[in-house]
Structure 1
Amino acid sequence: MRDPALEKAIGSVGGVRALARSLGISQPAISSWKRVPADRVLSVEATTGISRSDLRPDIYPPAGRSQIARPEALDEIDEARARECELIGALLWRAPTAETMAALRGLQGDASPLGMAHLALAEAAEEATPASLRDEFFELFIGVGRGELLPYASYYLTGFLHERPLALVREDMGKLGLARAERAGEPEDHIAVLLDIVAKLIRGEVAAEGVDAERFFARHIEAWGERFFADLEVAKAARFYKAVGRLGSLFLSIETQAARLPA
């Protein structure tokens, strides 16, 4: 049974099909919603005019009600962490477009290891084309039968797909009110999905008791993420993605070391 606020949102734009078209997602995806997913609240609010506190009062309580504490403003370091998660995740979710490559060519860096990795990624983007990247992405992650690499927590932690690590991810996603990944055939323990959730947690876009960015990272990425990026860096099919592997390895190493520092 749908949440009344979701029903109201659907009715305000003329039905499921109209809302799906406005949000740029599939009609079946919206039909599967029981309530508005946390990561869609703001876009549904903008489309329908129904306030976020009506759509998801558990996340955006009306004035006067208590809520999970969130920082008033994100500091520069946390914003940089969130952007890094989004950048790496986006490159692993689909082959970069020409627009993405143009943006990557403008990446700035410094003499730090992470800064040098950004410069290496910009240089790799200069040498790549959209067509070559589509081929490289296919060979690495899709393939005929399967790609060279399987970027899933279940595979790296158990040797199989759709195992307990996936169930644990879905458990936390349920607490956060996040919808399942809409790209057909992709389990939610895909590294790109996990990094995107970490970015949302850092920014306070989603929240739940007992689930924050540090705990989510430790529970779902820390035990295997660096191994995946090390494999990506030396993968046979990797050319542009060698630089992505290097950047991912460095970033996760920094996150892991920071998490182990005394509070």
Structure 2
Amino acid sequence: MRAVTAHQGVAEDDFLRARFYGLLAALLVAPPPEDLLRRLAAMKADSTPLGAALGHLAEAAAATDADTVADEFAALFVGVTGGEVMPYASWHLTGFLHEKPLAELRQDMIRLGIEPAPGVSEPEDHAASLLEMMQGLITGLFGEALALPEQKIFFQAHLGNWMPRFLDDLDKAPSARFYRSVAGIGRVFLEIETQAFAMVD
């Protein structure tokens, strides 16, 4: 995941949104190293739904270690013949990989100036890639930061129409322990984004 800092006049609320997208992307692209687990474990809960979800994530991080989470990640997303959960938009929307949702995403990536990261073999419609794209569209990583109406179009076309189901699958996966809390914070955050975008014309 690329480091993101506040810059180019990005509002504080948008910067915080981008940080959440970046955190979810980092946790879904690879198992977190020990230093990230310890930073997550230090987070404090509050009385909001998102704060409560962060508290559960902190508890889960404090109760595990990098090797254990790496084994869990492999069982969930890799496996010998595929993991327990499929983190691809095409799969959730059509039942197959490399289908129309991926082609439509690639067209939008060209339009928005988003290039695939070098050396990455995963299809671009992987959950982590899409979350990182949202992060970059908010902060202007790919050029000018998108206005909220344009962010809404991308979100609805490529994340909001399938990612809640993916997170539900992740929550129910037999091997999910730490990642159950990741699914929890992801669901709450995407619900907030969905509700906020509903008010954007």
TM-score (norm 2): 0.90
- Paired residue for 1:65? none
Deviation at residue 178 of structure 1 after TM alignment: 2.4
Residues 174-209 of structure 1, C-alpha deviations (whole Å, 9 max, x = no match): 123222244543100001000101011111222479
* Equivalent residue number for residue 166 of structure 1: 102
2:134 maps to a residue whose letter is V
Counterpart amino acid of residue 124 in structure 2: E
Q: Can you list the C-alpha shifts for 1:231-263, whole angstroms capped at 9, x where unaligned?
A: 111111100000000001111111111111154
2:34 corresponds to: 98
What's the CA shift string for 1:140-159, capped at 9, x where partnerless?
00001100001000000000
Moved over 6 A (4+): 208-211
Size of the alignment, in residue pairs? 194
The corresponding residue for 1:175 is: 111
Contact 1:214 / 1:259 at 8 angstroms: preserved in 2?
yes
Q: 1:109 to 1:73 in 2, by over 3 A?
A: farther
Q: Distance in 2 between matches of 1:98 and 1:199?
A: 24
Q: Which has the higher contact order (CA 8 A, sep 6+)?
A: 2
1:255 corresponds to 2:193? yes
Unaligned runs of 5+ residues in structure 1 are 1-38, 40-70
Alpha-carbon displacement from aligned partner over 1:34-84 (angstroms, at most 9, x marks no partner): xxxxx8xxxxxxxxxxxxxxxxxxxxxxxxxxxxxxx95222211111000
Of 134, 151, 158, which aligns to 1:213? 151
> Residues 48-59 of structure 1: matches in 2 within 5 Å?
none
Give the structure with higher Rg (CA): 1
Deviations 1:98-128 (A, max 9, x none): 1111111122331001000001101100011
* DSSP-derived class of the 1:96 partner: coil
Aligned positions of 1:146-161 closer than 5 A:
146-161=82-97
Matches within 5 A, 1:1-263: 73-207=9-143, 212-263=150-201
Q: TM-score scaled to structure 1, two decimals? A: 0.69
* Preserved contact between residue 152 and residue 161 of structure 1 (Cα < 8 Å): yes
Quick one: which amino acid aligns to residue 74 of structure 2? F
